[in-house]
């Protein structure tokens, strides 16, 4: 699939304020600073569609983009932002939980994890939460350009090993780099395939 058009629609503070759920929706989530907004720009061939910042916590609302006039792409605020206050964390949790459990047209999530790090509790807990709730998702390893190929493979192997303790069937995994555009086709093919299987 090629992304021919991408348009920012709206930022919402609750899933109840999001666009009408009449199109298939894919949401990007992960730790703050993991590279969600960068990946979205890479996928859409746009430099500034989603706002990027080296300061964690740039994305704070549910951001909707309309892609190819057919499906929604959503940039979600990252979790694990160290400087966030307790109140901010709670606000985030309520917003994201509400979105994930309440957004009826959400067909799959992309959970981004930094390929440089060992499995982090905050990520595996989130992944387990999606599993418990039966929310489909793909794990996306980001920033692969910052590591050698061998190290990327080792990171993925470590992740698989960790997830095998709670998961019978491992989730699908895609390795990406927004700098080298690695994994672009894999992500877009997954979306394309999924769009064929949903009733939107």
Between 108 and 178, CB nearer to ligand GTP: 178
The site partner of 143 among ligand GTP, Mg ion, none (C-beta below 5 to 8 Å per kind) is ligand GTP
User: By the criterion CB under 6 A, which residues form the site for ligand GTP?
Assistant: 32-38, 52-54, 56-59, 77-78, 142-143, 145-146, 177-179
State the nearest-atom distance from the C-beta of 6 to ligand GTP, in Å: 16
Residue at token pair 């395939």:
193
Going across the sheet that includes 62-67, the strands are: 6-12, 62-67, 71-75, 25-30, 106-114, 137-142, 172-175
SS3 content of the chain, % helix, strand, coil (to 5): 35, 25, 40
Q: Least distance to ligand GTP from the beta carbon of 59, Å?
A: 3
List residues bridging with 62 in a β-sheet: 12
- Say what angle helices 184-197 and 36-44 make with each other, to 10 degrees: 80
Q: Per rule CB under 5 A, is residue 178 in the interface with Mg ion?
A: no
Site string for Mg ion, 51-70 (x = CB under 5 A): -------xx-----------
Angle at the Cα of 86 (from 8 to 28), degrees rounded to 5? 30
Q: Note the residue count of the chain.
A: 200
Pick between residue 59 and residue 175 the one whose CB is nearest to Mg ion.
59
Q: How far is the CB of 11 from ligand GTP (least distance, A)?
A: 12
Which residues here bind Mg ion, judged by CB under 5 A? 36-37, 58-59
């Amino acid at each position: 699939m090629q992304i021919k058009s991408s348009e920012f629609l709206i930022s919402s503070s609750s899933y109840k304020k999001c666009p009408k759920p009449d199109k298939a929706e894919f949401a990007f989530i992960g730790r703050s600073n993991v590279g969600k907004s960068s990946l979205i720009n890479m996928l859409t061939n746009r430099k500034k569609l989603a706002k990027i910042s080296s300061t964690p916590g740039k994305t704070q609302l549910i951001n909707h983009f309309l892609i190819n006039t057919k499906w929604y792409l959503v940039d979600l605020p990252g979790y694990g932002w160290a400087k966030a206050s307790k109140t901010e964390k709670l606000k985030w949790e309520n917003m994201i939980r509400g979105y994930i459990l309440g957004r009826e047209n959400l067909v799959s999530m992309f959970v981004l994890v930094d390929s440089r790090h060992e499995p982090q509790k905050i990520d595996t807990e989130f992944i387990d939460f999606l599993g418990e709730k039966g929310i489909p998702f793909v794990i996306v390893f980001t920033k692969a350009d910052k590591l050698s190929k061998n190290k990327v493979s080792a990171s993925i192997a470590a992740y698989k090993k960790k997830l095998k303790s709670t998961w019978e069937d491992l989730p699908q995994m895609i390795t990406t780099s927004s700098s080298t555009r690695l994994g672009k086709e894999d992500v877009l093919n997954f979306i394309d395939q999924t769009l064929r299987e949903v009733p939107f």
